[in-house]
C-alpha cells in the first residue's frame, strides 16, 4: 500500500499522505496525529506550537526575495470521519487505513479513506518541507475536531494567527474555488421508553443496507436514501396493518453523514410474522425501484432471529414511528439567488438507544441564518408533539461570499494561467471552518479549494489521483503570486 502511494505524483505530497493514513485520528482523539505534527515541525527547526484546545500551528519564514509578502495561512483539519461497513473488522483508534489504487483513484478497504482532510494536510506539509518553493511567510493551521463540532476553529484564539489571508484546503472539487459556505446547527431529541417482557411470538430482524451514504451537506441534494427514513417507513406501514412489538431501532452514526444502514428487531405472532415477511419482501422490490437510479445496491432484508427478552412499551413505539416519519430529511429550500444551490437542508442523522432513551440526532444547514434556526425549530416542534426532550447544539456561522476578494482574483488568474480555463467560483452547502475563522479575524481574505473527492463521509470515499497534482501546482502558483 505505502509503496504504491509513494510512487504517485507529486511524490512529496503522497509521501506525507501515506504517513497520515497510518496514524489513527478520530474526531476528539487527535493525540497521535498532533504529536506527529509537533515532532515534525520541531525536528525541522520551524516555529511549532499547540494552543489550548489542541490546534497545531507551524510557521515557516519567506524564501529569499519574498520577505515583504504578507503572511498566508494554509489551513486543514487533523481529524477524519470514521465510518465502516458492518462486516469490516476495524478499530479507528488503533488501526491504519488500508488504502489501495483503483483506476485512477485512491480508495480504502471497507472504511472511510480520510482524504478529507488528510490530503490537504499532506499538501501543507510538503510545502513546509520544501527548499525550492517560492513563497512569503507561511503559517500552517491544523485544527482539531472539525468533523463533529468545528471545535478547533471555534476555540481558536483571536490573536493566534499573524495572517490576514487564509487558504483552506478542505474542499472536494478540483477546478472549483469556494468563497462561501453554509452555517449549521444540530437538534437532538430524546424519547424515554419503558421495557416490557416480550409477548409470545417470533423474533424478526429487518435490515436496510447497501446505501451510499455520503456528506450530509455536499450530497444532500443527490437524491440518496436515508436508511433511517427507509426503515421507519416500512415499520410505520406494517404497523397500520399488523400488530407487532418493537424491541430495537438503530441506524446511522455521525451527524454529518447520511445514514447508510439501519436495523430493527420486533416480535410478532407466528401468523403475523409471515405477513410481515411478505410485506418486507414486497417493500424491498418497491423501494429499490423507487431509488433505482441513485441507490442501485440498496437492500431491505428480513430474517427470523431469537426472540428478544424485552420490547419497548406500545405508546413509545407509536411516538417513535410517528416522529421519525414526521421529521423532514433532505433539501428544505433552494437558493433564490444562486442557481442550483441548496440554501437549507436537514439530515436525519442517527437513531440510537442510550440509557433507556431513543436518541435522535438531526443536523441542519443553511446559508441563511434565520432559515437555519427555522429548520431547527421545525424539528423541535416535531419532537415536542411526542413529548421528547429537545436540545440544540451551539451551531456555527456561515461564510458570506465576497466576490471582490483579492485572494479569489489571484487564485482565479493562477488557475487560468496554469490550465487554460476558468475555474468555477461558488459557495458550498457544506460547513467550512472559514466561517468561524472569519468571525474571529474580521477582514480575513479567504478561499477554499482542493482535489476531487467522492463518497466523502462514507466507506465509498475516494480521491482522484490526477487532481492532487493539479491542486498542488495551483497552490504553489498562488503562493508565488500573492
Query: Which pLDDT tens digit goes with each residue over 204-255?
Result: 999 999 999 989 998 999 999 999 999 999 999 999 999 999 999 999 998 8
CB 254 within 8 A of CB 457: yes
298 pLDDT higher than 70: yes
Percent of the chain residues topping a pLDDT of 90:
91
Q: What class does CATH assign to 196-342?
A: alpha beta
CA distance 172 to 456: 9
Please give the pLDDT value at position 8: 96
Please give the pLDDT value at position 1: 62
Q: What average pLDDT does the segment 316-321 reach?
A: 98
431 pLDDT higher than 90: no
Delimit the CATH 3.30.70.360 region(s) of the chain: 196-342
Query: Three-class SS of residue 263?
Result: strand
How far is Cα of residue 239 from the mean position of the Cα atoms in its chain? 33
Model pTM greater than 0.85? Answer: no
- 3 band by pLDDT with thresholds 50, 70 and 90: confident
CB 431 within 8 A of CB 184: yes
Enclosing H/E stretch for 42: helix 31-43
User: Crossing angle of helices 406-419/465-481, nearest 10°?
Assistant: 120
Could you give the residue numbers annotated as active site?
79, 146
The domain 2-182+398-481 is classified under which CATH number: 3.30.70.2860, 3.20.20.140, 3.30.420.40, 3.40.630.10? 3.40.630.10
Could you report the per-residue pLDDT of 51-91, keeping only the tens digit for each? 999 999 999 999 999 999 999 999 999 999 999 998 899 99
Q: What is the mean pLDDT of the chain?
A: 96
How far is Cα of residue 334 from the mean position of the Cα atoms in its chain? 21
Delimit the CATH 3.40.630.10 region(s) of the chain: 2-182+398-481
CB 470 within 8 A of CB 120: no
- 148 band by pLDDT with thresholds 50, 70 and 90: confident
How far is Cα of residue 208 from the mean position of the Cα atoms in its chain? 21
CA distance 99 to 21: 8
Amino acid at each position: 500500500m505505502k509503496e504504491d502511494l509513494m510512487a504517485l505524483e507529486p511524490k512529496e505530497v503522497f509521501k506525507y499522505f501515506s504517513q497520515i493514513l497510518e496514524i489513527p485520528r478520530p474526531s476528539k482523539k487527535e493525540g497521535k496525529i498532533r504529536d506527529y505534527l509537533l515532532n515534525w515541525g520541531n525536528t525541522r527547526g520551524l516555529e511549532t506550537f499547540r494552543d489550548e484546545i489542541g490546534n497545531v500551528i507551524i510557521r515557516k519564514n519567506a524564501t529569499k526575495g519574498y520577505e515583504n509578502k504578507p503572511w498566508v495561512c494554509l489551513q486543514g483539519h487533523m481529524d477524519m470521519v470514521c465510518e465502516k461497513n458492518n462486516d469490516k473488522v476495524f478499530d479507528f483508534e488503533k488501526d491504519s487505513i488500508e488504502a489501495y489504487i483503483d483506476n485512477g483513484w485512491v480508495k480504502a478497504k471497507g472504511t472511510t479513506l480520510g482524504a478529507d482532510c488528510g490530503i490537504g494536510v499532506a499538501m501543507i506539509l510538503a510545502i513546509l518541507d520544501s527548499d525550492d518553493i517560492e513563497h512569503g511567510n507561511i503559517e500552517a493551521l491544523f485544527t482539531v475536531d472539525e468533523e463533529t463540532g468545528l471545535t478547533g476553529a471555534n476555540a481558536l484564539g483571536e490573536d493566534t494567527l499573524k495572517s490576514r489571508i487564509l487558504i483552506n484546503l478542505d474542499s472536494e472539487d478540483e477546478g472549483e474555488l469556494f468563497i462561501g459556505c453554509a452555517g449549521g446547527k444540530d437538534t437532538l431529541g430524546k424519547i424515554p421508553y419503558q421495557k416490557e417482557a416480550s409477548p409470545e411470538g417470533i423474533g424478526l430482524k429487518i435490515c436496510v443496507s447497501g446505501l451510499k451514504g455520503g456528506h450530509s451537506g455536499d450530497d444532500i441534494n443527490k437524491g440518496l436514501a436515508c436508511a433511517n427514513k427507509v426503515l421507519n417507513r416500512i415499520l410505520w406501514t406494517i404497523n397500520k396493518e399488523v400488530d407487532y412489538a418493537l424491541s430495537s431501532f438503530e441506524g446511522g452514526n455521525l451527524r454529518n453523514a447520511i445514514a447508510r444502514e439501519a436495523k430493527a428487531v420486533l416480535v410478532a405472532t407466528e401468523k403475523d410474522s409471515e405477513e410481515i415477511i411478505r410485506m418486507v419482501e414486497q417493500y424491498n422490490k418497491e423501494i429499490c425501484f423507487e431509488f433505482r437510479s441513485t441507490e442501485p445496491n440498496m437492500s431491505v432484508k428480513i430474517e427470523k432471529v431469537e426472540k428478544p427478552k424485552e420490547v419497548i412499551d406500545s405508546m413509545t413505539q407509536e411516538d417513535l414511528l410517528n416522529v421519525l416519519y414526521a421529521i423532514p430529511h433532505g433539501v428544505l429550500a433552494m437558493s433564490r439567488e444562486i442557481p442550483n444551490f441548496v440554501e437549507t437542508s436537514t439530515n436525519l442523522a442517527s437513531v440510537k438507544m442510550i440509557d433507556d432513551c431513543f436518541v435522535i440526532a438531526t443536523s441542519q444547514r443553511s446559508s441563511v441564518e434565520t432559515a437555519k434556526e427555522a429548520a431547527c425549530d421545525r424539528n423541535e416542534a416535531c419532537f415536542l408533539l411526542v413529548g421528547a426532550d429537545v436540545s440544540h447544539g451551539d451551531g456555527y456561522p456561515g461564510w458570506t461570499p465576497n466576490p471582490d476578494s483579492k485572494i479569489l482574483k489571484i487564485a482565479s488568474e493562477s488557475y487560468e494561467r496554469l490550465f487554460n480555463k476558468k475555474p468555477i467560483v461558488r459557495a458550498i452547502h457544506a460547513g467550512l471552518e472559514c466561517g468561524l475563522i472569519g468571525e474571529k479575524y474580521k477582514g480575513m481574505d479567504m478561499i477554499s479549494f482542493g482535489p476531487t473527492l467522492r463518497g466523502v463521509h462514507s466507506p465509498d470515499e475516494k480521491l482522484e489521483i490526477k487532481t492532487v497534482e493539479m491542486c498542488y501546482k495551483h497552490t504553489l502558483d498562488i503562493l508565488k503570486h500573492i
